[in-house]
Every structure is written in structure tokens, then in C-alpha cells.
Structure 1
Amino acid sequence: MTDEGRAIRAARPILSNLGGGLALPPTAASIESRLWKLAIAILVAGLVVLALTRLLHPATTSDRAPPIDTLPLSYGPKNYAAAVVLADNAVALGTERVRARPQDWIFQESYARALMGRARLTLSFDDLQQATLALAKGKAEAIAGSGPLLTDAVANFTVHRMAPIAQDLRIFDAAAVRPDKGDRAEAEALRGDVAFYSGQYGQAAAHYRASAAIDDGMGLAFRIANFEYKTGHPDAARAQFERSARMNTARTRQFMANVWLQSGVVELSRGRWDDAEALFRKADQTFPGYWLIEAHVAQMAALRGKLDEAAQAYHTIIARTGQPDVIDALAVLYRVAGNGPASRAWAARSAPVWDRRLGMLPEAAYAHALEHELVLGDPARALSLARANMAARPYGDSVTMLAWALIANGKADEAARLVEALNKTQWRTAQQYGALSQAYAMLGDSTRSDAARDTALDINPRAFDPNAALIWFGNH
């Protein structure tokens, strides 16, 4: 392995919120450039972001407003297991309907929605693939100008297929029966999502404003939170999550747990580990049994140096779910602990799962699979996956991941050019500056390397904490 390959494997914290993660113990060659994940700070406080902030969320929360953890919960399952049972029942009903009337596109759509609902809990690629097939059948059966167009657009976005969304939305807009304002607002927000994940941040802001003008809602608030988070406004992101909780009068345990989980991710990204852990635990208490929340809690144990406790928690989750991200987190933990054979054994276990997912829904699997390869597998394959991921969704995270893959393959000059171009946009994360610092260090430019490192530390003061190598979770 090249020195560059070893350096990238030690730089895991910088990438961990990009959709999977790099996580290895620090080395003398790489500790100067290791960061944790998706920490945010302002690069361009431009008019677009200012307008977005003013239009889509309040600047402050009233001191008289009760804390959101005192807001009453409405209905819904009390834990993850109960939610899965309900999701299973919805899928079973959908299966019966499409079996009885496969020519009815409405039944195909409801079946697809049930599958996607379950996939949001289980991250089942089988469900996601089946949902896309059901929607394709529904569109084929529908008369021109009708069909499950908006649901199909949502499904394509879910599996990271950006190209088909515009056509769905064009037909949706031209429907003979005018959609209601909620659907029209969702269509506009989806246009914002496509723009955001295509690296067109100003266009994304404009679409989100347009969506809010039609029908401002909690779903848009989550989108705005993500926009603020990724473009340098973590406090505004937290305010948006809180706003979504106040807007949702039918808030469920699952919904509130997601508010706490995503809020914790924001805090983790700026080095506030105590706050992040408290939020993850609150999420776990609100909606017990959800493997993704449990993985975040286990990760915090690892950050505290409780490696045995974290490993046991990961083992328990894997036995119940078989999630490859959790398997990779365990493999990294064992490597940090110095147990190379166990690390390699677990990495070998997740590799075929990633290969299968790449075969099923490649765009949805690129980012996670490339991180697996970057940390635990083949850097050359990671670079190939990173280029494919960039082609599918050319936004800030994809740029940064491609930069790290280039560094792992000794292409520091190309990596530096990529990140310097990214720095001219509204995107600003610790990861991008960590990659830039590493690239310039490899190119022998210590002045620029140090400057990039300092910027990364401004974003996340704990970016270079040695324990940050254990961070794997925190992506949406």
C-alpha cells in the first residue's frame, strides 16, 4: 500500500458524515488532516442564504415557548418493533391489492408507498427496489398525464436517481386536475432537493422559498435544516428541527426521535459530544429499539473509550439486523483496538452486502460502498465508485469524498483543485478543508496545508481528536 493509501485510511473522521465513513487510528502522517464529519461553518453568508433564513424560519424561538420535549405526542407505535409490525401490515395489504388488481395504478402506488415506509425503518434495498418496480408498473398502466408521478419522483430521489425526477414533475404540473397545494409544495421542494444534490445551492434555496410560499410545512423545515447545516448554519439547522416539531400537531414517537437524532448529528458535527450523546439517548428513549439510533448511542460509548461496550452493542445490532454500516463500524472499532484479524473478518462480511446493493440500486449504494472500500478495502475501487457517485449527485459531500479517494490513490493535485472549486461555493465543511490540508501536505505546500487545517478546526474544535477515528454514524 502507498503512503497516500495509509494516510487516507487514517483520515476517517473527516468523511464519516458523508454517507458512510472512514475510521482508523491516527498516524503521524495523517493526524494533521483528520477531521470528524460534516461539521459546518459559514463560507458565503450571501443574499440567497440570508433570504432563505428570513423567509423559512424564525430568527429566534420565543422565550415563552415551551421546550419541544414537553410537547405532547399524538399517536403511533411506541417503539421500533411495533412500527415494523405496522409497516409489515401495510405492505401485506398492498401486496393483496396489487395481486387482485395489478392494472390499477393507485394500488401500485399505495403498495410502493408502504414499501418505502418500511424501508425508512429497515433500510431494505429489496423494499426500495420493489417500490420502484411497482411505480414503473403503475405509470405504465396509467393514462397519459396521470399516474403515480409525485410518488415516483420521491422514490427516485430516495434511491438517488436525479435524472428521472424532472420528467415526472413536468407531467405532474401539466395534469388536467390541478394538484392540491400540499402536493404542489412537495413538487417544488423536490426541485429544490434535486438542485441541492446537483450542487446548485442558490437554485435549491429559490425552490425551497417557492415551496414555502405555497404551503410551508414540517417536511420543508427538515429540508431547510439540512440546507442550513451543510452551508454553515448549525444553529439555524437546530432551529428548523425545533420548528418542525412545533408545526407537527400529530407528532409521533418516531417523528420526535428523528428530530432528536438529527439534532444530535448537528451537535456531533461541531464537536459538542456531550450534547450529541444526550440527544441520541433522548431519541432512544423516545422510540426504543431503532437500530440506527442504537448505533449512534454505541458510537458515543466508543468515543468515550468504552470499546468493549460499543463492540457488544454493535454485535447486538448486527445479530438483529445485519446492517452493513454497523458491520463496518465494528470492523473499524476492532482495527482501532488493534485486533486486525477481527477487523478483516467483519469487513469481509459486509463486502458482499455492498456488492449486492450496488447491483440492485447503484446510485443509492455508491457513497456507502466507496467508504467501505476507502477504509477497509481497495482504494482503486473506491476511486471508481467515488467518480460514479459524483456523476450521480455532484454536490459537496460527493466532491469531498472524491477528493479523499483521489488522495488515497496519490492524486493530490486533482484533489486540491476539486476542493478549491468547492470552496468557492456556499458549501463549507470540516471534511473539505481536511481533504485540502492533506492534499497540500502531500504536495509539499505546508503553508496552505496549515491554513486549511486551521479552518477545519474553526469549524469543529474536536476535529483532530484521536478518538474521532471511531465516528462512523451521523448521516441522514
Structure 2
Amino acid sequence: MEIRQYGHSVTEPPPPRRRRRWPRRVLVTALAGGVAAGAVLMLRPDGARRPARPPAAGPQAQAQAPARALTAVTAGLPAALPDLASLIGQQESRVRARPRDARAWAVLGAAYLELGRQSADAANYPKAERALRTSLEVRKGGNTRAAESAEDAVSLEGLASLANARRDFPAAKRYGEQAQKLAPKRWSAYPPLIDAYNGLGDYKSARGALDKLTGLRAGAAVRPAVMARASAVYRDRGWREDAVAQLTDAAATARTPAEQASYLTGVGQLAWERGDREDALRHFTAALRLDPGRRAALAGKGRALAALGRTDEAIAAYRTAVARRPDPQDALELGELYESLGMFPAAQAQYDLVRTRARQAVAGGVDEELLIGQFEADHGDPREAVERLREEWARQPGIEVADALGWALHRVGEDDEALEFASIATDRTKGGGVRSALYVFHRGMIERELDEHGPARRHLQEALRISPYFSPLREPAARAALQELGDVPDEPLPAS
């Protein structure tokens, strides 16, 4: 049986190499020197898109919005989009009036960063970087050689989190370690470091940073965020039950609707990864009730509805998410859903949108080499995917990159090397502790091509056990491959 994906089959040779269409990763130029006053004018240049604002709340809620967001961003907690928009307006006015106010610049940078992460709009990241760097500069009075103080840790934490959001894990590690050195008892210094270490494949350091974080005995207000961070590390180790327990407790003890919605979205994602469609949908829906602007929950809802066979509702949810949230990943998922339904023109429109939005993200300083490599491997030029992902692996060798590079190598016929990377992504002894149906599927398909039928059958079956609905395109491919491999042959036991 030939298993087709959009544009070409997963079993046929890759298409001819095409001229590169994608931009290379662009590093946003940081401010240099004491330019705080000038930075004010660069926050929203004429014609720049302002953050989307939901319908106005009542006067009392509007008055409290900046204070709620201020509490959240200074503590490193999730905030609601309307509150962030109010806080940004307030802080912009403050830095215009007092351009030497280092704390106001730091808060403004943190607010722009949180807005960018929640809205998936990378246009906010250069503004966040300018504000955070200006905070450091004005605190030093323009003396870039001045000794750093514990107050600088706040801005350095922001720069570390910003680098993680841009998938620049070496920079995140550098800033995070500086912040942790300046303020080793600040709980918020550790989550960016954990993310950076994971992105670099340094799982031992990630576990060490988590141990230090949990040993700080954080206060009640931030304890849910600490549990959420522990959940992410447990998930990466393959400890599903512990990850779910930590995140469920975090949602139960969260103090604001936005914070609770963030953790419920995470619980929904964990449910989705283990193939529990109904539980995933329940948590994504609950998150959206608490915080209608939670874009990740909307995309998750589309994912769960598609797995439940409610395709019209799934498409509607995805289309809303894609319209509101310029995340290329959402467009890619919708395109693959359309493709699985045989709606090829609609799929192509979404794949074109992936390219557009990836360019926009790169313009905001985001490293999209992983996503571009994944896209090209399945829907474009696998040779380009290999080239990009090799460079990404050399720079930041995390599990996601190992899986993507292994699959891209398989798509160009380099299956022996592909299996090496697929093993890294799925073998606990090599760092790949996370239980991912996609990673195990990739390994099984590579082994099938190498005529390693026993391991291939075992890994394809495992992928479907982990989650029978992990992808509208790849789940049918896994079942077809298993059917082709047939049952385990009835062979005599080896002689003793």
C-alpha cells in the first residue's frame, strides 16, 4: 500500500532540490549605549500592530487590570491578555515620563515578553528586548562595565526567558546563569535555566536546577508555578503520572483565572499526549472558559475535536486559533487535518501560511529552524530539512531536534544515520525519556525501511498504544505499515 502525504509519498524518493524559500535565522540587534529616551520612541512605531484587545470589561475590572498583570509578570506568573495590554499602556506612559526608571523598563519588557508568548506574535519580542536591555543600561547609568547587582537579575531573567521564547538556548543559558549567580534564592531565576538546559540536551543540569528550585520553599503565591515547572521536567523524563499530578495540583491552587487556565491547558496537553481525547477536550474547554484569550487552549481544542471525529468543530476551532494567533505550528496542524480529509487546496493554503508566519517569526528573532525542518521533511524538500537540522543540532542538540533530524535523514534515504538520531530521541539511556507517539512512530518507520521488522513492529505498536490519535496523517500510516509487516512470524525458539 502506498501511503501518501501532501505533494509526495512517504515511500517515494524525495522531490528535486529547490531553491531555498526560507529566511535564515535573524538575530535582533540589541540597543547599545545609553539610549533609554530613544527607546521610548521605538516601542510602537507608526503603523505597528497594537496588541489585540478583547471587549472592554467593566470599569472596576479595567481599573484593576494593570495591578493584576503587574503582580503576575513581576512574579513570573501567567497573565490575561487584556490585563497585559493595560499594563503595557501604563508602563509605556511611565517610561516616557521617567525614562531613567529601570524598574519600569524591566516591567515593560516582561509584559511585552508575556504578550508575545501568549499571543504567539514574535513582533513583541524586539520591543521586549529593547525594554529589558534599557533597564540594565539605565541602572548602570550608561556605564556598561559597572558591576551587576541583584536588581539586575530581574532583567537578566527576562532576557533568558526571551531567548527561550526565541529558541535561542545558548543565550538563555548565558543570561539564566548570570541571573542565578546574582540572586540564587529567587525562584524565578530557575525556570528559564531549566528550559535552556533542556533545549541544549543537558538533562542532568536541568534536573539539578529543578532540585535547587524545589529546595527554595517558594511562597504560596508562586508554589503553583513551581509545580508546573516540575511537571514539565517530569514529562520530559517520561514520568507521566507525576507530571499530571503536579500540574493538576498547580491548577487547583492557582490564584487567578489566567494562571489556572494556563495550567489547565497544560493538563489538557498531557491528556492529549497519552491519547485521552475526552479528558484533553474537557481541560482545554475549561481553560477557555476561564481565559477566552488562551490561544494554546483553542488550538488544543481543535486537536482533540479532530481526534474525536468532530471535524467540522475541529476546523472551526483551528481556524479561530490561526486567525487570532500567528503561530506557524497551528497553521501546519490545520493544513495536515485538511490533507487527511482530502481537502488538498485548503491544505496548500495553510502550508503557504506556514511559510509566511515562519518568516514573520524569524523577523522577530525566533529560531524557527526546527519547525522549518519538520515542515520541509514532510511537505517540501527533505534535503533542505537535513541541511537546516544538522546546523540546528550542532548549535542546540535537544530531543526535538534529534527526532526531526532523524526523520529528515530517513526522508532522503539515509536510514542508518537516521536510526542513530531516532534512538537518541526515544532511548531513555541517551536522553530521550519523553513518551512521544510521534518519536516512536518515526523510529518504527525507519526500522521498517532497514528491514528490522521486529523492532519496527514493536515501535509502531507502541506509538499507537501511547496515543492512537497522535496525528491525522501519521496514525493511518502507522496502521498501514503494521498491516504490511504482518503478524509476528511463528519461528522456532533458538537452540540452547
> What's the TM-score bracket when you normalise by the shorter of the two chains?
0.7 to 0.9
Contact 2:7 2:379 in 1 (8 A): no
SS in structure 2 of the partner of residue 362 of structure 1: coil
SS in structure 2 of the partner of residue 361 of structure 1: coil
Q: Residues 379 and 102 (structure 1 numbering): CA distance in 2 closer, same or farther, change over 3 Å?
A: farther
Letter in 2 for 1:383: V
2:235 is equivalent to residue 229 of structure 1: yes
1:343 paired residue number: 347
1:443 paired residue number: 450
Where do 1:424-439 residues align within 5 Å?
A: 424-428=429-433, 429=435, 430-439=437-446
2:118 is equivalent to residue 118 of structure 1: no
1:16 paired residue number: none
Aligned residue pairs: how many?
A: 397
SS in structure 2 of the partner of residue 260 of structure 1: helix
Contact 1:116 1:131 in 2 (8 A): yes
How far apart, in 2, do the equivalents of 1:381 and 1:341 lie? 24
Which residue among 273, 276, 283 is the counterpart of 1:279? 283
My pick for the range that moved more, 200-209 or 109-118, is 200-209
How far apart, in 2, do the equivalents of 1:387 and 1:197 lie? 15
Contact 1:25 1:336 in 2 (8 A): no
1:368 paired residue number: 371
SS in structure 1 of the partner of residue 80 of structure 2: helix
Q: Residues 152 and 469 (structure 1 numbering): CA distance in 2 closer, same or farther, change over 3 Å?
A: farther
Q: State the Cα deviation string for residues 238-283 of structure 1 (Å, max 9, x = none).
A: 11112323554xx211211222211111111111222222222222
2:246 paired residue number: 240
How far apart, in 1, do the equivalents of 2:319 and 2:253 lie? 38
1:357 paired residue number: 361
SS in structure 1 of the partner of residue 432 of structure 2: coil
How far apart, in 2, do the equivalents of 1:26 and 1:352 lie? 22
2:389 is equivalent to residue 386 of structure 1: yes
Q: State the Cα deviation string for residues 26-49 of structure 1 (Å, max 9, x = none).
A: 98969xxxxxxxxxxxxxxxxxxx
Q: Which has the higher contact order (CA 8 A, sep 6+)?
A: 1
Letter in 2 for 1:411: E
Contact 2:65 2:86 in 1 (8 A): no
Q: State the Cα deviation string for residues 131-174 of structure 1 (Å, max 9, x = none).
A: 12222233333322133222222222232222234443454456
Contact 2:108 2:131 in 1 (8 A): yes
Letter in 2 for 1:357: A
Contact 2:422 2:443 in 1 (8 A): yes
Q: Residues 385 and 359 (structure 1 numbering): CA distance in 2 closer, same or farther, change over 3 Å?
A: farther
How far apart, in 2, do the equivalents of 1:174 and 1:129 lie? 26
How far apart, in 2, do the equivalents of 1:154 and 1:441 lie? 40
1:426 offset after TM fit, Å? 4.4
Gaps of 5+ in 1: 11-23, 31-74, 471-476
Contact 1:25 1:466 in 2 (8 A): no
My pick for the range that moved more, 418-427 or 403-412, is 418-427
Q: State the Cα deviation string for residues 344-377 of structure 1 (Å, max 9, x = none).
A: 12321331221232233232x2333333333433
Larger Rg: 2
Contact 2:468 2:475 in 1 (8 A): no
TM-score w.r.t. length of structure 1: 0.74
How far apart, in 2, do the equivalents of 1:362 and 1:289 lie? 22
2:86 is equivalent to residue 89 of structure 1: yes
Where do 1:191-206 residues align within 5 Å?
A: 191-206=193-208
2:423 paired residue number: 420
Contact 1:97 1:107 in 2 (8 A): yes
Q: Residues 192 and 152 (structure 1 numbering): CA distance in 2 closer, same or farther, change over 3 Å?
A: same
How far apart, in 2, do the equivalents of 1:314 and 1:173 lie? 39
1:233 offset after TM fit, Å? 1.3
1:127 paired residue number: 124
How far apart, in 2, do the equivalents of 1:247 and 1:317 lie? 28
Contact 1:94 1:114 in 2 (8 A): no
Letter in 2 for 1:339: M
How far apart, in 1, do the equivalents of 2:251 and 2:120 lie? 24
Contact 2:91 2:108 in 1 (8 A): yes
1:196 offset after TM fit, Å? 2.4
Which residue among 134, 145, 149 is the counterpart of 2:156? 149
My pick for the range that moved more, 206-215 or 423-432, is 423-432
Q: Residues 201 and 349 (structure 1 numbering): CA distance in 2 closer, same or farther, change over 3 Å?
A: closer
Where do 1:97-112 residues align within 5 Å?
A: 97-112=94-109
Contact 2:337 2:473 in 1 (8 A): no
Letter in 2 for 1:362: V
2:335 is equivalent to residue 328 of structure 1: no
Letter in 2 for 1:367: L
TM-score w.r.t. length of structure 2: 0.71
1:186 offset after TM fit, Å? 2.7
How far apart, in 1, do the equivalents of 2:472 and 2:354 lie? 27
Contact 1:358 1:366 in 2 (8 A): no
Contact 1:112 1:131 in 2 (8 A): yes
Gaps of 5+ in 2: 13-63, 69-78, 141-145, 478-496
1:320 offset after TM fit, Å? 4.0
Letter in 2 for 1:113: A
How far apart, in 2, do the equivalents of 1:312 and 1:189 lie? 34
How far apart, in 2, do the equivalents of 1:405 and 1:282 lie? 37
Where do 1:202-213 residues align within 5 Å?
A: 202-213=204-215
Letter in 2 for 1:115: Y
Contact 2:287 2:294 in 1 (8 A): no
The root-mean-square deviation of aligned C-alpha atoms, in Å, is 3.3
How far apart, in 1, do the equivalents of 2:86 and 2:206 lie? 36
How far apart, in 1, do the equivalents of 2:103 and 2:402 lie? 39
Contact 1:161 1:392 in 2 (8 A): no
